[in-house]
Amino acid sequence: MGLDRFGADRAVLFWSGGQDIRPPSGLSRFERILIVPIEFDFAFLLPFALALLATGAFAGTLAGLLGVGGGIVIVPILYMLLPAFGVPEELRMHLAVGTSLATIVPTGLVSAQSHWKRGGVDVDLLKKLGIFVVLGVAVGIVIGTRAGGETLKIIFASVALLVAVHMGLGKQEWCLSKSLPSWPGRAVIGMFIGGFSVVMGIGGGTLGVPTLSLFNVPIRRAVGTAAALGPVIALPGVIGFIISGFGEPGLPPFSLGYANLLAFAVIVPSTIAFAPLGAKLAHTISPPLLRKAFAVFLLITACRMAWAVFGS
């Protein structure tokens, strides 16, 4: 890595894949933001790009099959891929979460529009929960951007484990109440969905659907309404992660704060392309079997995250 200055207010960081990418000390936050790779080692980048394409395809297919957000898949896979680029351990979860939130903005809009056209979005329910979800997102941004990587991994592993239990063992007739509670209870529900979703880098579906189902919201309304909450969660979330990580040393090329634009550009088209396939497969494959298979995936993911924290 070398540094070439073009005037006092600009710097270009030259990076080569897999090397230490921490910039020299003494640079301003602006100088750290422009990172341009001058050695494109395609033998190095091709497996990474293929892995991102596969990640997007997997996330999109699961979104169509089960109505869950792709972030629950994207975050752990990105976390496992980032060491190849020399990203410091303390930044990997932040970058994985921020990049995942960035991908959810366009994919969430597409999903929400699809559910809206089919009449699956409950506008009244959105009005009841929306403001509290936004408040939860605000709290989640503060926690997610200031917490250490270990804390984010613990949160992700814990919630992924809960979702795995629900997906694997939960029954549709499980219900806490016949309807949503009054506003204090709705505030807790909305802030839970918004806060934990943004900290984990996921959309509204992963936590929103099971939570709403517990309060007797029909599954199609729960899926459609949770899908509409996805962009509401992701857009302010990714803005917060971009601002917090702006100019952070140690980020890989094409990173805008804690959001990697290269990963975003590869994952999003793949996710959107494979979501219809997932929706089609949902009518040919046993949903209970799929839910249990995904629960196993989440269980393995949660265990890997927990091992990364407590086993090292």
Give 17's pLDDT tier (boundaries 50, 70, 90). very low
The region of weakest confidence among 9-23, 29-43, 45-59, 152-166 is 9-23
Which span out of 45-54, 170-179, 254-263 was modeled with the highest average pLDDT? 254-263
Place of tokens 């016949």: 178
Q: What is the pLDDT of residue 196?
A: 92
Q: What is the pLDDT of residue 171?
A: 66
Give 9's pLDDT tier (boundaries 50, 70, 90). very low
> Which residue ranges make up each domain of the chain?
41-310
Assigned token pair, 305: 């995250």
- Residue 86 buriedness (CB in 10 A; 0-12 / 13-18 / 19+): middle
pTM for this one?
Answer: 0.81
What is the rounded average pLDDT of the residues 168-187?
Answer: 78
What confidence tens digit (pLDDT) does each residue in 93-102 have?
A: 999 999 999 9
Q: What is the pLDDT of residue 212?
A: 86
What confidence tens digit (pLDDT) does each residue in 113-147 have?
A: 877 887 888 899 998 899 999 999 999 999 998 88
Closest among 165, 176, 166 to 216, alpha carbons compared: 176
What is the rounded average pLDDT of the residues 270-277?
Answer: 86
Q: What is the pLDDT of residue 288?
A: 75
Q: What is the side-by-side strand order in the sheet with 35-39?
A: 2-5, 11-16, 35-39
Q: 192-207: buried (b, 16+ CB within 10 Å) or exposed (e) per residue?
A: bbbbbbbbbbbbbbbb
For residues 206 and 229, which has the higher predicted lDDT (pLDDT)?
A: 229
Q: Is 181 a residue whose pLDDT tops 50?
A: yes
